[in-house]
């Protein structure tokens, strides 16, 4: 999966140099902020990052195949620039297995099925393993019926939602995925969190390997972004989160501790109720349809004391079941938008998925990933604790 993606994206990079330039500044900024401020950024080759994650997962009992699926999932997030949902999540997965909250080698089972739908019991295994299984099933159904919708319960954190859309895109299908998560989003006018960051992803194929890939949390940001700011000892912008008193907070440590994220849109005045509505939409496709835990009933994210029992949803749609020329129109729309005159000529207009392609291009150029300093420290502790070879970076 990993090497195939590199080939696909190498092709795409060569066709998107304009947008690549635009994100260079942002990327360099992120890179320079990422490690210990006194040192040059350390670069970790993708292969070495993958090796380290597989070793750690196997050390807590995961079979080779499951360890590879989870490592590839986390690596893909890092590669695409979503460091909050890559290796940053490894320790949580390991802790859950060690504490008996999740099961390292569980395989999912289909509980209920029609031609186009299914309900899957993830059997409390790794989210990446059940996620890949469910999207494969949705793809099979879409190839037969034009559409496949699969929901799963008894599931765990499944990484970046977009990864499952990539699975559908590789088959020339439209992919959709979303997941509920531990309560972190404060509904508009409420004081406490009741919904998760509940990400949504939609992938639509264009021509010649180009695609649209929208993938984001329905909170103003994913909580991992606040965690990364905290790891870097940096503040957060206004509009991301509230503090214990229900007031807007910019201190990343206080915001991370309070875990009260604002919905996409922010406060009521800036239409935060729209993001709150999207969070409800995700909860309906995930918790309500699958029978998993939902809303405030989901376990706490910062202090887990029970299994997660998350709900996931996966959809695949065959463009051939709709009007002829979906890919042509999609490419036309994307390129029309990309070619619009930007306000700042050095910042071309992007479509969803371009930012990640640009990040992957830079990773290839640099020869690896740039983890924040604290990630390297976490890895050192993990390597010692699990008795695996430490991750080597240059
Ligand atoms: N599993 C979980 O529990 C969980 C929870 C929350 C988030 N996540 C994942 O975390 C990742 C990050 O989420 P996020 O909300 O921080 O995402 P984000 O705010 O970084 O937004 C990412 C999306 O916006 C697009 N984008 C970025 N800049 C753009 C621009 N200038 N023009 C057009 N499009 C642009 C990207 O291509 C991508 O589709 C996602 O992959 C999400 O699935 C997972």
Is 117 in contact with 150 (CB distance < 8 Å)? yes
pLDDT at 18 over 80: no
Find the mean pLDDT for residues 106-132: 98
> Among 17, 116, 124, 119, which Cα is nearest to 348's?
17
Q: What is the pLDDT of residue 49?
A: 98
Q: What is the pLDDT of residue 8?
A: 34
Find the mean pLDDT for residues 29-36: 40
Q: What's the Cα-to-Cα distance from 204 to each of 143, 146, 304, 362, rounded to whole Å?
A: 16, 15, 36, 24
Using the structure block, give the residue that is written with the tokens 């040059």.
Answer: 40
Pocket of ligand 1 (CB under 6 A): 82, 85, 157-162, 179, 181, 197, 199, 201, 213-217, 221-222, 225, 350-353, 355-356
Using pLDDT thresholds of 50, 70 and 90, give the confidence band for residue 259: confident
Q: What is the pLDDT of residue 40?
A: 64
Is 31 in contact with 372 (CB distance < 8 Å)? no
Protein residue whose Cα sits closest to atom 24 of ligand 1: 352
pLDDT at 273 over 60: yes
Using pLDDT thresholds of 50, 70 and 90, give the confidence band for residue 2: very low
The whole-model pTM stands at 0.89
- pLDDT tens string 75-98: 999 999 999 899 999 999 999 999
Q: What is the pLDDT of residue 336?
A: 98
Q: What is the pLDDT of residue 82?
A: 94
Q: Which numbered atom of ligand 1 lies nearest the CA of 85?
A: 10
The residue with greater pLDDT, 13 or 364, is 364
Protein residue whose Cα sits closest to atom 34 of ligand 1: 352
Q: What is the pLDDT of residue 325?
A: 98
Using pLDDT thresholds of 50, 70 and 90, give the confidence band for residue 218: very high
Distance CA 391, CA 376 (A): 8
- By mean pLDDT, which of 7-21, 30-44, 187-201 is the weakest? 7-21
Is 122 in contact with 152 (CB distance < 8 Å)? yes
Q: What is the pLDDT of residue 302?
A: 75
Q: What is the pLDDT of residue 162?
A: 98
**Joined tokens for residue 148:** 């496949």
Ligand 1 pocket: which of 131, 156, 162, 217 to mutate (most atoms within 8 A of CB):
217
The rounded radius of gyration (Å) of the Cα atoms in the chain is 20
Q: What is the pLDDT of residue 304?
A: 84
Protein residue whose Cα sits closest to atom 36 of ligand 1: 352
Task: Assign a CATH topology to domain 106-220+262-338.
Answer: Ribosomal Protein S8; Chain: A, domain 1 (3.30.1370)
- pLDDT tens string 155-164: 999 999 999 9
Q: Which numbered atom of ligand 1 lies nearest the CA of 213?
A: 39
Percent of the chain with pLDDT over 90: 82
Q: What is the pLDDT of residue 305?
A: 87
- By mean pLDDT, which of 65-69, 151-155, 224-228 is the weakest? 224-228
The residue with greater pLDDT, 203 or 21, is 203
How far does the centroid of ligand 1 lie from the alpha carbon of residue 199, in Å?
8
Distance CA 217, CA 240 (A): 12
pLDDT at 30 over 50: no
Ligand 1 pocket: which of 85, 128, 228, 333 to mutate (most atoms within 8 A of CB):
85
CB atoms within 10 A of CB 119: 18
pLDDT at 326 over 60: yes
Find the mean pLDDT for residues 219-223: 88
pLDDT at 367 over 80: yes
Q: Which numbered atom of ligand 1 lies nearest the CA of 225?
A: 16
The average confidence (pLDDT) of the chain is 90
* Residue 85, CA atoms < 13 Å, CB-side half-sphere: 23
Using pLDDT thresholds of 50, 70 and 90, give the confidence band for residue 231: confident
Ligand 1 pocket: which of 21, 24, 26, 82 to mutate (most atoms within 8 A of CB):
82
Domain range list for the chain: 1-105+352-394, 106-220+262-338
Using pLDDT thresholds of 50, 70 and 90, give the confidence band for residue 145: very high
- pLDDT tens string 281-317: 999 999 999 999 999 999 987 778 899 999 999 999 9
Ligand 1 pocket: which of 215, 292, 309, 314 to mutate (most atoms within 8 A of CB):
215
**What is the architecture of the domain spanning 1-105+352-394?**
Orthogonal Bundle (1.10)
């Amino acid at each position: 999966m990993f090497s195939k993606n590199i080939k696909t994206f190498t092709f795409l990079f060569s066709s998107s140099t304009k947008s690549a330039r635009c994100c260079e500044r942002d990327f360099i900024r992120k890179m320079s902020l990422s490690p210990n401020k006194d040192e040059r950024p350390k670069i970790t080759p993708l292969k070495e990052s993958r090796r380290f994650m597989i070793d750690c997962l196997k050390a807590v009992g995961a079979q080779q195949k499951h360890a590879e699926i989870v490592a590839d999932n986390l690596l893909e997030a890092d590669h695409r620039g979503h460091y909050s949902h890559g290796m940053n999540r490894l320790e949580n997965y390991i802790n859950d297995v060690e504490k008996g909250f999740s099961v390292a080698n569980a395989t999912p089972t289909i509980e209920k099925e029609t031609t186009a739908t299914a309900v899957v019991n993830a059997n409390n295994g790794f989210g990446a393993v059940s996620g890949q299984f469910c999207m494969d099933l949705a793809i099979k159904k879409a190839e037969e019926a034009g559409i496949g919708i699969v929901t799963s319960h008894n599931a765990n954190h499944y990484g970046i939602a977009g990864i499952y859309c990539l699975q559908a895109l590789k088959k020339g299908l439209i992919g959709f995925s979303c997941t509920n998560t531990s309560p972190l989003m404060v509904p508009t006018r409420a004081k406490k969190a009741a919904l998760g960051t509940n990400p949504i992803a939609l992938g639509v194929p264009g021509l010649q390997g180009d695609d649209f890939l929208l993938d984001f949390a329905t909170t103003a940001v994913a909580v991992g972004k606040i965690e990364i700011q905290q790891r870097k000892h940096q503040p957060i912008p206004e509009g991301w989160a509230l503090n214990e008193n229900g007031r807007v907070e910019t201190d990343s440590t206080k915001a991370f501790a309070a875990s009260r994220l604002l919905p996409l849109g922010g406060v009521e005045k800036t239409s935060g109720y729209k993001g709150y509505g999207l969070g409800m939409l995700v909860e309906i496709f995930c918790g309500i349809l699958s029978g998993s835990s939902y809303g405030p009933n989901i376990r706490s994210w910062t202090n887990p004391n029970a299994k997660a029992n998350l709900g996931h949803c996966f959809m695949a749609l065959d463009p051939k079941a709709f009007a002829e020329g979906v890919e042509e129109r999609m490419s036309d729309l994307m390129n029309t938008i990309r070619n619009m005159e930007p306000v700042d000529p050095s910042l071309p207009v992007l479509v969803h998925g371009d930012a990640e392609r640009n990040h992957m291009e830079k990773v290839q150029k640099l020869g690896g990933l740039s983890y924040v300093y604290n990630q390297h420290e976490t890895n050192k502790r993990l390597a010692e604790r699990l008795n695996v070879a430490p991750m080597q970076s240059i």
